[in-house]
Amino acid sequence: MILCKTVAELRAELAIARNEGRTIGLVPTMGALHEGHASLIRAANMENDLVVVSVFVNPTQFGPNEDLDSYPRTLEADCLIAEREGADIVFAPTAKEMYPSEDMTWVEVTGGITNVLCGRSRPTHFRGVTTVVSKLFNLAQPDRAYFGQKDAQQVQVLAKMVKDLFFNLQLRIMPIVREADGLAKSSRNTYLSPEERRAALILSRSLKEAEKLFAAGERDGKKLAEFTEELIKTEPMADIDYVEIYRMPDLSECSGPLEGAGLLAVAVRFGKTRLIDNLVLEVK
Ligand code: PAF
């Protein structure tokens, strides 16, 4: 496996692969790789000739009072995991390499899709994500790019960006990977105290109950969200940011009965740590 730290190195490596007619899979990450990322790398390895994993804690997607400075940086361990799962290249640039000019060029998806859920609590977040992911797409020119369903809104925003900007690649969305007790894997889980870690189980548990209610025939989106919120409120350590349901794929308002697919999404703080989780409800 090769570690590339500069744009020039990455381009040189990929030019060789492309000349040989090899397909390229890209797995964009912010590092602190866990089993969720490993599942993306494995999928990329199965579906492409060459796999690039980017490891870059992207400053532009963090708000002023967020965890940019404390976000875990574990490049050595990340390289071992990436290699074990079949990556050919790890691309780990500096911030200066990715953002060489102080005058920024932004890629921004506008409208409701970026204003609801995390877009409301983190107003500049998705602009940072779409900007850095566009840069990575332009650099790697992958045939396929891999993202996890845990960041459900990110996935929908990126799908819109790919469509609107005619990026010539396939987005591959992989299911949420959970701990044995149900907690969705996240690099931010490492911030949790044992008490908070236990309390955080309320997220997956209440989404599971909502899924049962839906399976039993409840189609009223608002009722499903309220039911989930009430369950989360039974955990005293849970400080709710949102518990909401939107229509897929545009994340428009979901009033009245659910049709097509709905996204039931939650964001909750446990101490200083904000966790997200979600459930897709498909009306057949
Ligand atoms: O999902 C993430 O880890 C990040 O938002 C991404 C897609 C790597 C962009 O920085």
Q: In angstroms, what is the span from residue 28 Cα to ligand 1's centroid?
A: 6
Domain annotation covers residue 182 = no
Q: How far apart are CA 128 and CA 60, in angstroms?
A: 5
Residues 97 and 66 in one domain: yes
User: Which protein residue's CA is at the shortest distance from atom 1 of ligand 1?
Assistant: 29
Residues 30 and 153 in one domain: yes
Q: How many domains does the chain have?
A: 2
Residues 116 and 249 in one domain: no
Whole-structure pTM value: 0.97
Decide: 28 in ligand 1 pocket, CB within 6 A: yes
Q: Which atom of ligand 1 is nearest to the CA of 57?
A: 10
Decide: 40 in ligand 1 pocket, CB within 6 A: no
3 state DSSP class of 80: helix
Residues with catalytic roles: 37
Residues 193 and 273 in one domain: yes
Q: Mind listing the pLDDT tens digit for each residue in 241-272?
A: 999 999 999 999 998 899 999 999 999 999 99
pLDDT at residue 256, rounded to an integer: 85
Domain annotation covers residue 201 = yes
Q: Which amino acid is at 237?
A: M
Domain annotation covers residue 198 = yes
pLDDT band at residue 6 under the 50/70/90 scheme: very high
Domain annotation covers residue 180 = no
pLDDT at residue 141, rounded to an integer: 98
Decide: 25 in ligand 1 pocket, CB within 6 A: no
Residues 44 and 100 in one domain: yes
Residues 236 and 163 in one domain: no
Decide: 156 in ligand 1 pocket, CB within 6 A: no
Domain annotation covers residue 75 = yes
Of 28-37, 175-184, 255-264, which gets the smallest average pLDDT? 255-264
CA 184 to chain centre: 12
Going by DSSP bridges, is the β-strand pair 261-270/238-247 parallel, antiparallel, or unpaired? antiparallel
Percent with pLDDT over 70 in the chain: 100
Decide: 187 in ligand 1 pocket, CB within 6 A: no
Q: In angstroms, what is the span from residue 275 Cα to ligand 1's centroid?
A: 15
pLDDT at residue 284, rounded to an integer: 87
Q: In angstroms, what is the span from residue 78 Cα to ligand 1's centroid?
A: 15
Average pLDDT, the chain: 97
**CATH for 234:** 3.30.1300.10
Q: How far apart are CA 262 and CA 225, in angstroms?
A: 11
Per-residue pLDDT at 117 exceeds 90: yes
Per-residue pLDDT at 180 exceeds 90: yes
Residues 26 and 101 in one domain: yes
**CATH for 143:** 3.40.50.620
* Domain with 26 in it: 2-174
